[in-house]
């Protein structure tokens, strides 16, 4: 069974992929006529906040057949644990994939928080454990631990979280955490530990992932590059006697016909930031730097970024986030997703702008066309506490 | 001065409602506080119960008016992340989040360097609050502390300009008063005696730092239409005549509420008028925050809203002039 997740932006949303980076949903730009959450009513804000829109996206994804949604975390976005706690009782089957950095919480308190969310939602919490890219973004968070040490901390954190997740006292005289007699009350200890989607691609990351990841999560890359990446993680994990599954975060632009899909990009093209077309490593994205090797310069039009059939390396030009995604007809995109499963993908996090409307579109047009067995959130039994 | 009246939320299951998820029971109590016109609900830190961050989210999402007081151990989060969580709550709930960071409560886990005694816990809490306010109120912020280090921090964009959660602190020893004088907005004591004994000293210390700290008290109550009814309720439960200490108003102080399952062992027993009188007496000593522990929660919250609040708010000289205004509802 393949779990197919959607994504909920924690940073506002734009109304269309045709208008790169135009944020009208949420309060990242001042509200004006046409803004949503807050909207305008009688000349002032209507009192709704961005979480009301996030609730709509969660409900859309739930009814469109996704098992849940990724809630990403960046310095100036909203906090995923907060969002999950706010929306817990507004959905029934939707799993909250909470992105967080283990260094910012205490592991035992994180266990308590997580188990309480599990109990409130019937076991609908999933982790996206991120360890951080380093540099100014980490010190902004108050984190001065060096790169490889951060992965050691992530490992120790997850050891402690899982160790404390029981009714017997747990001690850990760790390098980063000092744990004495930690345990959970029986009602919380009975909850399932969330599945771990693990991000990071350095050797230190893969070593930690080998020990703790249920799913190794990667952005989409050209199909030709994925088998090597999967193989590397599989080898590292074998040393720990574990067999990780693989999850891909995939941007989608799907329309009834291929022509219509590319036409969306053609409309957006004049407004994109042309500086990003050089895929210069000084840019803001590791993914962009990694993409450089796949791009033939010079890039003069959108189709120059189609590195493999339907695999387009320009999504970061339309919105913040990954470089690679799928562009094509509903049939083509569904077929590519099938191929990714054949390459060894066990789960997906799909996303498209705008998140609300596209959840319905992908759910009703693309997902029914894939042939792999996917988890059906509406009929599957929740992973509830026994 | 207006009196803010809060109730505490359950962190453990209190009724055996097998047909409903446990969060539903708590949701009813939150709704009762909202409907009955209380000012807020407290999500307590309880190692043997559910975690308060989750309680706060659920309470705020399903109300429009009540504030939620997030009680958490300072060891639970790094201060930047704690502030980030608070900022999201403030953004989404019209600034209805309040903070109650705990300093010396038990915690089974902490980030190194470890705090080993009260002094080092207070030093850590001081740094925690410096960092949290620092990143909140500044577009750029640096701090090289013993416990926390931030470089190039600071909330900008959508995180900027939000009301910082009102900080509620507790304790009655010198360290506790010092921390409150420096960082607290409200200091919550547990008895009228503590308020009288330590309240003026705290406020003097705060004023010396150019700050104002309000006083609060957290206690249990059992109120009925008459004093007899309230006492009858107690003796019917305990089977014996409880050990009540008479108070000037005719109400009583009882230290035995723990036997009824309350988290606050001490509290007031009496008629609506008597208990209102005791609260007015506290108000005259500067108390403007009262956190009440009542059982069963839904029914007693309604009772407080209908019968006690109408008496205490005018009795405390309430005007709406200093009501908190934290943003659009």
Residue B11, CB-side half-sphere exposure with 13 Å CA sphere: 26
Per-window interface: A 6-65 vs B, CB < 8 A: 11-12, 26-28, 44-45, 47, 49-51
B77:A117 CB<8 A: no
B329:A82 CB<8 A: no
CB-count exposure of residue B146 (10 Å: 0-12, 13-18, 19+): exposed
Q: How does pLDDT run across B260-311, given as a tens digit for each residue?
A: 899 999 999 999 999 999 999 999 999 999 999 999 999 999 999 999 999 9
Decide which of A378 and A324 is more confident. A324
Is residue A288's pLDDT more than 70? no
Residues 6+ apart with CB under 8 A from A195: A126, A127, A214, A215
Q: Please report the pLDDT score of residue B314 as a whole number.
A: 64
Assess contact for A5 and A347: CB atoms under 8 A: yes
Decide which of B5 and A242 is more confident. B5
B93:A49 CB<8 A: yes
Is residue B322's pLDDT more than 50? no
Is residue A386's pLDDT more than 50? no
pLDDT, average across residues B34-39 = 96
Q: Please report the pLDDT score of residue B22 as a whole number.
A: 72
- Calculate the average pLDDT of chain A: 91
Bridge partner list, B170: B188
Chain A residues touching residue B55 (CB < 8 angstroms): 116
Is residue B25's pLDDT more than 60? yes
Q: Please report the pLDDT score of residue A31 as a whole number.
A: 84
Question: Least CB-CB distance to B152: which of A115, A116, A140?
Answer: A140
Interface test with B, best of A23, A72, A86 (most B CBs within 10 A): A86
pLDDT, average across residues A148-173 = 96
In 3D space, the residue among B99, B37, B24, B94 whose CA is nearest the CA of residue B68 turns out to be B99
- Calculate the average pLDDT of chain B: 92
Q: Please report the pLDDT score of residue B321 as a whole number.
A: 38
Concatenated DSSP letters of B62-90: T-SS-EEEEEEETTSB-HHHHHHHHHHHH
Q: What is the pTM of this model?
A: 0.92
Q: How does pLDDT run across A292-341, given as a tens digit for each residue?
A: 888 888 899 999 999 999 999 999 898 888 899 999 999 999 999 999 99
Q: Please report the pLDDT score of residue A285 as a whole number.
A: 53
For B74, name the nearest residue in chain A, comparing CA atoms only.
A106
d(CA A40, CA A43): 6
Q: Please report the pLDDT score of residue A284 as a whole number.
A: 46
Copy the structure tokens of residue B285.
């000593």
Phi, psi of B155 (to 5 degrees): -85, 125
Bridge partner list, A42: none
Q: How does pLDDT run across A175-227, given as a tens digit for each residue?
A: 999 999 999 999 999 999 999 999 877 778 878 887 899 999 999 999 999 99
How many CB atoms are located within 10 Å of the residue B267 CB?
25
Chain A residues touching residue B144 (CB < 8 angstroms): none
B151:A144 CB<8 A: yes
Interface test with B, best of A37, A115, A132, A140 (most B CBs within 10 A): A140
Kindly indicate the confidence band of residue B318, based on its pLDDT and cuts at 50, 70 and 90: very low
H/E element holding A255?
A: strand A245-255
Residues 6+ apart with CB under 8 A from A246: A215, A216, A218, A230, A233, A344, A345, A346, A347
Per-window interface: B 280-319 vs A, CB < 8 A: none
d(CA A172, CA B243): 45
Decide which of A298 and B78 is more confident. B78
B88:A176 CB<8 A: no
Chain B residues touching residue A83 (CB < 8 angstroms): 88
Chain A residues touching residue B12 (CB < 8 angstroms): 185, 187
Concatenated DSSP letters of B272-284: HHHHHHHHHHHHH
Helix, strand, coil distribution of chain B in percent, nearest 5? 40, 20, 35
Per-window interface: B 98-127 vs A, CB < 8 A: 107-112, 114
B61:A187 CB<8 A: no
Is residue A358's pLDDT more than 90? yes
Residues 6+ apart with CB under 8 A from B97: B56, B60, B67, B68, B70, B86, B89, B90, B165
For B156, name the nearest residue in chain A, comparing CA atoms only.
A76
Chain A residues touching residue B60 (CB < 8 angstroms): 86
Is residue B324's pLDDT more than 50? no
Phi, psi of A245 (to 5 degrees): -100, 165
> By the CB < 8 Å criterion, does A76 face chain B?
yes
A185:B12 CB<8 A: yes
Closest approach of chain B CAs to the CA of A256, in angstroms? 37
Interface test with B, best of A112, A183, A194, A385 (most B CBs within 10 A): A112
Per-window interface: A 78-137 vs B, CB < 8 A: 78-79, 81-90, 103-109, 112-113, 115-117, 119-120, 122, 136
Query: Helix or strand or coil: residue B110?
Result: strand
Kindly indicate the confidence band of residue B317, based on its pLDDT and cuts at 50, 70 and 90: very low
The distance of Cα B211 from the centroid of its chain, to the nearest Å, equals: 20
Question: Least CB-CB distance to B109: which of A45, A122, A182?
Answer: A182
Closest approach of chain A CAs to the CA of B240, in angstroms? 33
Assess contact for A318 and A20: CB atoms under 8 A: yes
Closest approach of chain A CAs to the CA of B79, in angstroms? 8
Decide which of A320 and A90 is more confident. A90
Measure the CA dihedral B275/B276/B279/B284, to 10°.
Answer: -140
Kindly indicate the confidence band of residue A18, based on its pLDDT and cuts at 50, 70 and 90: confident
Residues 6+ apart with CB under 8 A from B182: B126, B129, B209, B211
Chain A residues touching residue B79 (CB < 8 angstroms): 142
A49:B56 CB<8 A: no
Q: How does pLDDT run across B110-119, given as a tens digit for each residue?
A: 999 999 999 9
pLDDT, average across residues A74-88 = 94
Phi, psi of B73 (to 5 degrees): -80, 140
Beta strands in chain B (DSSP E): 4-8, 40-43, 67-73, 97-102, 109-111, 141-144, 149-153, 166-170, 186-189, 214-224, 244-246, 252-254, 267-271, 287-293
Residue A256, CB-side half-sphere exposure with 13 Å CA sphere: 0
CB-count exposure of residue B6 (10 Å: 0-12, 13-18, 19+): buried
Q: Please report the pLDDT score of residue A385 as a whole number.
A: 36
In 3D space, the residue among A102, A196, A107 whose CA is nearest the CA of residue A150 turns out to be A102
pLDDT, average across residues A285-295 = 73
The distance of Cα A154 from the centroid of its chain, to the nearest Å, equals: 18
Q: Please report the pLDDT score of residue B123 as a whole number.
A: 98
Bridge partner list, A198: A129, A216
Q: Please report the pLDDT score of residue A281 as a whole number.
A: 54
Chain A residues touching residue B89 (CB < 8 angstroms): 82, 86
Assess contact for B202 and B127: CB atoms under 8 A: no
Concatenated DSSP letters of A42-61: TTEE-S--HHHHHHHHHHHH
DSSP class of residue B36?
Answer: T
> By the CB < 8 Å criterion, does B76 face chain A?
yes
Assess contact for B110 and A106: CB atoms under 8 A: yes
d(CA B44, CA B76): 14
Chain A residues touching residue B105 (CB < 8 angstroms): none
> By the CB < 8 Å criterion, does B157 face chain A?
yes
Is residue B55's pLDDT more than 50? yes
Sign of the torsion angle spanned by Cα atoms B256, B261, B266, B269: negative
A76:B60 CB<8 A: no
d(CA B229, CA B213): 37
């Amino acid at each position: 069974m393949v779990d197919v997740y959607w994504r909920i932006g924690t940073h506002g949303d734009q109304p269309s992929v045709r208008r790169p980076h135009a944020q009208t949903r949420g309060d990242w730009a001042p509200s004006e006529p046409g803004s949503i959450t807050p909207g305008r009513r009688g000349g002032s804000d209507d009192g709704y906040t961005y979480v009301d829109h996030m609730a709509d996206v969660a409900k859309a994804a739930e009814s469109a057949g996704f098992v849940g949604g990724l809630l990403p975390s960046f310095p100036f976005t909203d906090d995923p644990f907060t969002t999950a706690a706010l929306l817990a009782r507004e959905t029934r089957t939707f799993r909250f994939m909470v992105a967080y950095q283990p260094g910012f919480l205490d592991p035992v308190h994180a266990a308590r928080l997580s188990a309480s969310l599990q109990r409130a939602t019937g076991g609908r919490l999933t982790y996206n454990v991120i360890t951080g890219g380093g540099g100014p973004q980490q010190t902004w968070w108050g984190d001065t631990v060096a790169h490889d040490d951060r992965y050691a901390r992530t490992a120790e954190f997850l050891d402690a979280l899982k160790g404390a997740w029981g009714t017997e006292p747990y001690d850990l005289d760790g390098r980063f955490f000092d744990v004495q007699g930690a345990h959970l009350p029986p009602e919380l200890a009975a909850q399932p530990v969330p599945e771990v989607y693990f991000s990071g691609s350095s050797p230190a990351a893969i070593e930690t992932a080998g020990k703790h990841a249920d799913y190794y999560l990667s952005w989409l890359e050209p199909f030709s590059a994925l088998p090597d990446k999967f193989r590397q993680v599989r080898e590292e994990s074998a040393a720990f006697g574990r067999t990780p599954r693989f999850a891909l975060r995939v941007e989608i632009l799907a329309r009834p016909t291929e022509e219509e899909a590319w036409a969306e990009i053609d409309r957006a093209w004049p407004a994109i930031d042309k500086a990003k077309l050089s895929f210069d490593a000084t840019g803001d994205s590791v993914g962009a730097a990694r993409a450089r090797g796949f791009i033939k310069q010079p890039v003069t039009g959108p189709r120059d970024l189609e590195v493999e059939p339907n695999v387009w390396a320009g999504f970061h030009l339309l919105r913040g986030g990954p470089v690679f995604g799928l562009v094509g007809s509903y049939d083509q995109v569904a077929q590519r997703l099938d191929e990714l499963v054949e390459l060894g993908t066990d789960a997906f996090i799909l996303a498209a702008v705008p998140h609300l409307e596209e959840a319905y579109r992908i759910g009703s047009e693309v997902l029914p066309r894939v042939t792999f067995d996917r988890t059906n959130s509406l009929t599957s039994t929740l992973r509830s506490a026994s | 001065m207006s009196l803010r009246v809060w109730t505490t939320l359950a962190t453990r299951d209190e009724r055996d409602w097998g047909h409903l998820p446990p969060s539903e029971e708590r949701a009813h109590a939150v709704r009762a506080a909202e409907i009955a016109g209380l000012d807020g609900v407290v999500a307590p830190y309880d190692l043997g119960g559910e975690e308060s961050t989750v309680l706060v989210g659920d309470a705020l999402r399903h109300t429009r008016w009540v504030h939620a007081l997030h009680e958490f151990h300072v060891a639970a989060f790094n201060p930047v992340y704690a502030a980030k969580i608070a900022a999201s709550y403030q953004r989404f709930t019209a600034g209805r989040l309040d903070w109650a960071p705990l300093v010396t409560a038990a915690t089974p886990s902490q980030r190194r360097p470890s705090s080993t005694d009260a002094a080092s816990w207070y030093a850590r809490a001081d740094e925690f609050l410096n960092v949290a306010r620092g990143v909140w109120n500044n577009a750029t912020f640096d701090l090289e502390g013993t416990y926390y280090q931030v470089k190039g921090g600071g909330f900008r964009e959508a995180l900027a300009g939000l009301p910082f959660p009102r900080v509620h602190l507790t304790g009655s020893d010198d360290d506790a008063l010092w921390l409150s004088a420096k960082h607290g907005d409200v200091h919550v004591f547990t008895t009228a005696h503590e308020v009288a004994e330590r309240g003026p000293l705290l406020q003097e210390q705060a004023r010396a730092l150019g700050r104002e700290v309000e006083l609060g008290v957290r206690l249990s109550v059992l109120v009925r239409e008459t004093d007899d009814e309230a006492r009858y309720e107690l003796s019917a439960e305990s089977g014996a005549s409880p050990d009540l200490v008479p108070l000037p108003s005719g109400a009583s102080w009882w230290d035995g509420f723990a036997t009824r399952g309350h988290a606050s062992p001490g509290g007031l027993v009496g008629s609506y008028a008597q208990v209102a009188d005791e609260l007015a007496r506290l108000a005259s000593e500067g108390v403007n925050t009262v956190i009440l522990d009542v059982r069963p929660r839904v029914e007693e919250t309604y009772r407080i809203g209908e019968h006690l609040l109408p008496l205490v708010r005018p009795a405390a000289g309430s005007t709406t002039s200093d009501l908190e205004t934290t943003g659009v509802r």
